[in-house]
Amino acid sequence: AASTDYQAENATISQGVVESNHAGYTGTGFVNYDNLVGSYVEWTVTAPAGPADVTLRYANGTTAQRPMDFTVNGVAGAVGITFPGTGDWTSWQTKTVRLTLAAGTNKIRARATTADGGPNADKLTVTPTSDDVTPPS
Ligand code: GCU
C-alpha cells in the first residue's frame, strides 16, 4: 500500500517548537509539544475518501503516558490515544490509528490532552486502506 510521510516540523504547530537535539528523527527535526493541555500539531494531508492508517512516529523519554486526541477537519477521529514512554528521548516508536479521511485535503490534528503535553513528534505516515485492496484479476 502506498504511504506518504508528512514531517511534523513542516506541519502547523500550536504551542510547540521544532527541535533537533535528540537523534533518530527523520527529516530535519521534530516537534517538542509545550507541556500543557491543548498543544497540537496539524498536518495537511491528501488522500482518497475512506479509512486510512495514520501512524505517528514519536518519542517520550518519561515514564508517563502522553495521551492525545486526533481530529480530522475539526471532527473527533480517535480520542484518548496513549503514547507511552519509549525509554529515552532518542528512542522513537510508532502508534497507528485508523481515521476516516475525505477525498482531497484533510487537516489531521494531534492534540495533547494532559498537562505534560504531547510526546516529541517526528512524522505522520498516512496509508489509505483502499490501497490495500487487491484489484480483481
Ligand atoms: C525534555 C526533552 C524535550 C521534551 C521535554 C518534555 O526537555 O529534552 O525534548 O519535549 O523534555 O518533557 O516534553
Residue 15's pLDDT is 98
Q: What is the pLDDT of residues 39-60, one digit of tens each?
A: 999 999 999 999 999 999 999 9
**Does ligand 1 come within 6 angstroms of the Cβ of 30?**
no
**Does ligand 1 come within 6 angstroms of the Cβ of 39?**
no
Res. 1 pLDDT band, cuts 50 70 90? low
Q: What is the pLDDT of residues 18-45, one digit of tens each?
A: 999 999 999 999 999 999 999 999 999 9
Q: What is the pLDDT of residues 105-126, one digit of tens each?
A: 999 999 999 999 999 999 999 9
**Does ligand 1 come within 6 angstroms of the Cβ of 117?**
yes
**Does ligand 1 come within 6 angstroms of the Cβ of 35?**
yes
Indicate whether 134 pLDDT > 70: no
Residue 131's pLDDT is 63
DSSP state letter for 35: S
- Quote the CA–CA distance of 83 and 129 in Å, as a whole number: 23
79 in Cβ contact with 98 (< 8 Å)? no
Of 120, 126, 134, give the one whose Cα is nearest residue 58.
120
Residue 132's pLDDT is 59
> What percent of the residues of the chain are helix, what percent strand, and what percent coil, each to the nearest 5?
5, 55, 40
- Quote the CA–CA distance of 137 and 126 in Å, as a whole number: 27
Query: If you average pLDDT over every residue of the chain, what do you get?
Result: 96
Q: How far, in Å, is the centroid of ligand 1 from the Cα of 35?
A: 8
Q: How far, in Å, is the centroid of ligand 1 from the Cα of 70?
A: 21
Residue 130's pLDDT is 78
- Quote the CA–CA distance of 107 and 75 in Å, as a whole number: 10
